[in-house]
């Protein structure tokens, strides 16, 4: 494999990328800021109070992957011969790609994750730790929720810690915005029953069903209209803005005396969430990790 690195101005990035992929037999194309980590670096994503972001970087490094050096050389020659590319597009480097076992490399980045000393998330290529009385088998996939993010860990930790006291009442559980289904599976492993896991993303529904089967738990995964009635336990690990918008809907699904567990919230957003949910319940911060917080409430019986 050979990488061809081209220095390309902003207005030609799309043309160069299309030519490499569509006409010059590139196996893949990626684009990076040529000025990254310098004073000229420019953000593409806007922030509140800042000017609107630009569509691209002033100078980009376009990296194309080719099967061999001959194909890469021919591609560079043909590309630079175009009138629109002359004097504007420059070859920065052409170099071999070091062969790696990409599967093994990816797997090495995901080790078992401790939720509590007795509850772990374990990829399929690892043996469960000796201390794991309960564990979720879960590999990285298309849907959010592998246990590596603080919001997921806090939700699972809450489930594990509260289960000895409350799992007997978890006759129905709702995981709203289920992603990989990890929270629904965690609830099932800790005594939750009749579990609905819903998400707006069909890929998440498919992922949840597959992960549930892999862990030997029974649940119903569906699009959001699959949630119906009330539940003694409602879990939602999304983000603060949708959580605020969903306040009436989520609270409407919590049974009297039931628990609401919310995550995806930054510490500075706590007051916003408390205000949004005030008409229905009193949210409190129950856990925090790396700038993220877990907020919970118990509705009045």
How is the chain split among helix, strand and coil, in percent rounded to 5?
A: 35, 30, 40
> Which residues touch 84 (CB under 8 Å, ≥6 apart)?
12, 15
Say whether 291 counts as a known binding-site residue.
no
C-alpha 239/C-alpha 295 separation (Å) is 12
Say whether 209 counts as a known binding-site residue.
no
**Element (DSSP H or E) covering residue 115:** strand 113-116
In 138-239, which ranges are continuous DSSP H helix? 150-166, 182-189, 202-214
Closest CA to 196 of 216, 165, 224, 168: 224
Closest CA to 154 of 268, 265, 15: 265
Say whether 191 counts as a known binding-site residue.
no
Say whether 70 counts as a known binding-site residue.
no
Closest CA to 14 of 81, 74, 89, 70: 89
- Read off φ and ψ for residue 257, nearest 5 degrees: 80, 0
C-alpha 113/C-alpha 89 separation (Å) is 46
C-alpha 158/C-alpha 232 separation (Å) is 15
Whether 167 contacts 191, CB under 8 Å: yes
Binding-site residues for S-adenosyl-L-methionine sit at: 152, 177, 199, 237
Binding-site residues sit at: 152, 177, 199, 237
């Amino acid at each position: 494999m050979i990488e061809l690195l081209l220095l390309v101005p902003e207005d030609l990035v799309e043309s160069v990328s299309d030519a490499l992929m569509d006409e010059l037999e590139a196996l893949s194309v990626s684009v990076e800021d040529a000025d990254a980590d310098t004073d000229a670096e420019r953000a593409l994503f806007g922030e509140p109070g800042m000017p609107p972001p630009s569509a691209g970087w002033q100078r980009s490094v376009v990296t194309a992957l080719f099967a061999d050096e001959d194909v890469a050389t021919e591609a560079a020659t043909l590309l630079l011969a175009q009138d629109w590319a002359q004097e504007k597009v420059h070859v920065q480097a052409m170099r071999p790609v070091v062969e790696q076992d990409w599967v093994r490399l990816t797997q090495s980045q995901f080790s078992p994750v401790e939720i509590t000393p007795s509850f772990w998330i374990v990829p399929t290529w690892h043996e469960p730790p000796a201390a794991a009385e309960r564990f979720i088998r879960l590999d990285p996939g298309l849907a959010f929720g592998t246990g590596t993010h603080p919001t997921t860990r806090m939700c699972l930790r809450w489930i594990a810690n509260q289960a000895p006291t409350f799992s007997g009442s978890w006759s129905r559980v709702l995981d709203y915005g289920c992603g990989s289904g990890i929270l629904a599976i965690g609830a099932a492993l800790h005594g939750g029953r009749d579990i609905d896991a819903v998400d707006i993303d069909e890929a998440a529904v498919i992922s949840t069903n597959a992960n549930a089967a892999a862990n030997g738990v029974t649940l119903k995964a569906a699009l959001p209209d699959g949630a119906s009635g009330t539940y003694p336990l409602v879990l939602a690990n999304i983000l603060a803005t949708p959580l605020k918008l969903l306040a009436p809907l989520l609270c409407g699904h919590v049974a009297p005396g039931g628990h609401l567990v919310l995550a995806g919230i930054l510490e500075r957003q706590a007051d916003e969430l408390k205000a949004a949910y005030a008409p229905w319940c009193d949210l409190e911060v129950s856990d925090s990790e790396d700038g993220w917080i877990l907020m919970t409430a118990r509705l009045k019986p």
